[in-house]
A and B are shown apart, each in its own frame.
Chain A
Amino acid sequence: MAYRSRWLKYVLWAISILVALGIVLPLISMVLFSFSKKIEAIPTQWTTQWYTFNSSDVAGSVGASLVVAVPAVLIGLVVTLPLSFAMARRQFRGKAFIDQVIVLPMLIPGTVLGFALVGLYNTGAVRDVIPPVAFLIAAHVVVVIPVLARPLIAAIQQLNVSVEEASMSLGAPPLLTVIRITLPSILPSLLVGAIFALARSMTDFAITLLLVPIDFTPMAIRIYNSTSYSIPQLTSANSVILLLLSLAIVGIAELVSRRAAK
């Protein structure tokens, strides 16, 4: 038995390392490449010029990404919170249907969803009433809802109702109980969901590409545009910036959730 479990351990180790390398190696090569002066597999001459190339535009693009992501996540939260409570606590007709619909944005290819949304935008009066950036934000709300809802529903399901009943019996009316007991208890899951939703929104390409107005260039689109310069190092440099941004956000999530778990 011990013999077998040791083998199992080695096999698992090997798989883990392979997976890690598969994810990390391309990223490492991308980072190295972004500092390379010439186009070569292993850089020999180094430069930071790709990072300073049009740097003010890059800053604007980071801003554009945030202009979409932050409101999308906030609106998503406003929608997802009551939805998650209903899904976790109540029985109602169509619950199973909603359960499936929530994950649809994760399953449908972005291009499909994007085309559908473009079609919607170009028909009728939608175009005259809603500015394109607002519509882009709305599209991102749809994309982030599954990311937000999953951890929230799980957290609310885990939270025992008797904790809220205890609060009420101790003198707190329902609204105060939600503020003092329920929300703090699910806050870690809410924050983690929100941060991953931010990252999801900022790295979204397909839907964003189909919906962005011409004068609006979020980071994910800038990376795509940069390929037209035929300078792959520039594309790499832009990608590294988006990667760092996502890593920073996820890192904050990690810190916050550790702190909340204390």
Chain B
Amino acid sequence: MAGLTIRDLRKSYGEVTSVDGVSLDIQDGEVITLLGSSGCGKTTTLRIIAGLVTEDSGVVEIAGKSMRGIPPWKRDVGIVFQNYALFPHMTVRDNIAYGLKLRRLRGPEVTAQVDRVSEMVEIGDYLKRYPRELSGGQQQRVAVARALAIRPKVLLMDEPLSGLDANLRTRVQQELVELHRASNTTTIYVTHDQHEAFVLADRVALMRAGRIEQLDEPMEVYNRPTSLFSATFMGSNNRFTARVAKIDAGDGRVELDCGGVAMLAAGREGLAAGQAVDVVVRMGRVRIRRDAAAPARANAFPARVREVSFSGGSWRFVLGVGAGDGLELVAEAADADYVDDAPPTAGASVTVEIDPDHVWAFPRENAEQVTA
């Protein structure tokens, strides 16, 4: 089957290491997104798979066959480029038919396949037009159709939605999900947009400095980050330093000393008592209870509301937590959470509760490395 295996891929440009040991196993029909900020090596990885860049070392296998020494035109890989890269002097139909004609398909077969894929991406009405007569969204569909027409073993997409405006992008994301359901092509999707990555992917490979930082299903990457980088790359977060007070605080958890506040956190290998740690808590996971008397539950603390702001869909509260308000946390709540009763106002005394599984402590890293 047409899965894809990458083992220990490396590529340097002079002094600059672009891809630094990437390994991936992609199942047939799976969608993987390579997520990362610019310069993390995601596009280079994609281009190596396509054969447009030659790796320094490592293995790329498509459908079990090593791609070493096989040029791009013999790899049966479809690419959708960031700028679509449509052929300007050809009609939409000729663009889509290009790869099919090169495969020496007969005329009727070419026509049938072009009609099939253009129907899939809903551009059947534009086949006679030239690329410049199409909107950005339409060009994007043509690029997808052209790549899918050759029935590629792997479909590679390099930030294909970055040229579209926000509304259209959300719609096209959904369409790509449906399109994948119909074509079931093994897909690698490169993006720097976490929402896009999560919506589209079966698994997300979060990349950093030429390596895969974390590879897992979207929910896992979001809710169980394995590193400080993973934790802070996505979502809006509280981040503060603390000290590990106790390693075994029951249920596999650890107890932290956060400026006088004793907080339970999810257990993690490599933590030792007395160690300085970086702590990350998603703003949405800081829950506010109206009763001032802190109940004797785990991770429930008395707090004072310092600031309240409303940004349309959500509320944001800046809280002083603990005895002397020693720890500052920001809580986010959806607008819908305050339908029946009004949100707390500045100065109010409240109780803050945080699920220990969503308090993530990471051994302190060199500050330089943490660039999310």
Measured CB to CB, the residues of A under 8 A from B are 160, 162-163, 165-173, 176, 180-181, 184-185, 187, 260
Contacts A170-B98, A171-B102, A171-B103 given; indicate if A163 touches B85 (C-beta within 8 A).
yes
Binary contact track B48-83/A, C-beta < 8 Å → 1, others 0: 001110000000000000000001111101110111
Residue contact A166 to B89, C-beta cutoff 8 Å:
no
User: Other CB < 8 Å A-B pairs besides A162-B82, A171-B103, 5 of them?
Assistant: A160-B83, A163-B85, A166-B86, A172-B98, A172-B102
Pairs across A and B, CB under 8 Å, 21 listed: A162-B82, A163-B85, A163-B87, A166-B81, A166-B87, A168-B52, A168-B71, A168-B72, A169-B51, A169-B52, A169-B147, A170-B146, A171-B102, A171-B103, A171-B150, A173-B71, A173-B73, A176-B102, A180-B98, A185-B88, A185-B89
Residue contact B89 to A184, C-beta cutoff 8 Å:
yes
B267 contacts the other chain (CB 8 A): no
Which residue from chain A places its CB closest to the CB of B72 in the assembled complex?
A: A168
Question: B88 — which chain A residues lie within 8 A by C-beta?
Answer: 163, 185
B99 contacts the other chain (CB 8 A): yes
Question: B102 — which chain A residues lie within 8 A by C-beta?
Answer: 170-172, 176
Give the residues from 137 to 152 in chain B that come closer than 8 angstroms, CB to CB, to chain A: 146-147, 150
Residue contact A165 to B150, C-beta cutoff 8 Å:
no
Distance in angstroms from B230 CB to nearest chain A CB is 31
The docked-state distance in angstroms from the alpha carbon of A187 to that of B90 is: 13
Question: B75 — which chain A residues lie within 8 A by C-beta?
Answer: 169
Contacts A162-B81, A165-B79 given; indicate if A172 touches B89 (C-beta within 8 A).
no
Question: B73 — which chain A residues lie within 8 A by C-beta?
Answer: 168-173
The docked-state distance in angstroms from the alpha carbon of A173 to that of B74 is: 9
Question: A181 — which chain B residues lie within 8 A by C-beta?
Answer: 87
The docked-state distance in angstroms from the alpha carbon of A168 to that of B72 is: 6
Distance in angstroms from B67 CB to nearest chain A CB is 13
The docked-state distance in angstroms from the alpha carbon of A171 to that of B77 is: 9
Main secondary structure on A side of the interface with B: helix
Residue contact A165 to B87, C-beta cutoff 8 Å:
no
Distance in angstroms from A169 CB to nearest chain B CB is 5
Binary contact track B80-110/A, C-beta < 8 Å → 1, others 0: 0111011111000000001100110000000
Question: A165 — which chain B residues lie within 8 A by C-beta?
Answer: 50, 52, 72, 79, 81, 85
The docked-state distance in angstroms from the alpha carbon of A170 to that of B73 is: 6
Give the residues from 257 to 303 in chain B that come closer than 8 angstroms, CB to CB, to chain A: none
Give the residues from 327 to 361 in chain B that come closer than 8 angstroms, CB to CB, to chain A: none
The docked-state distance in angstroms from the alpha carbon of A160 to that of B158 is: 15
Residue contact B99 to A171, C-beta cutoff 8 Å:
yes
Distance in angstroms from B179 CB to nearest chain A CB is 19
Distance in angstroms from A181 CB to nearest chain B CB is 6
Contacts A165-B79, A165-B81 given; indicate if A170 touches B89 (C-beta within 8 A).
no
Question: A260 — which chain B residues lie within 8 A by C-beta?
Answer: 89
Question: B146 — which chain A residues lie within 8 A by C-beta?
Answer: 166, 170
The docked-state distance in angstroms from the alpha carbon of A173 to that of B98 is: 13
The docked-state distance in angstroms from the alpha carbon of A171 to that of B51 is: 12
The docked-state distance in angstroms from the alpha carbon of A172 to that of B99 is: 8
Question: A167 — which chain B residues lie within 8 A by C-beta?
Answer: 87, 98
Closest 3 CB pairs between A and B?
A170-B99, A171-B102, A162-B85
Question: A180 — which chain B residues lie within 8 A by C-beta?
Answer: 98
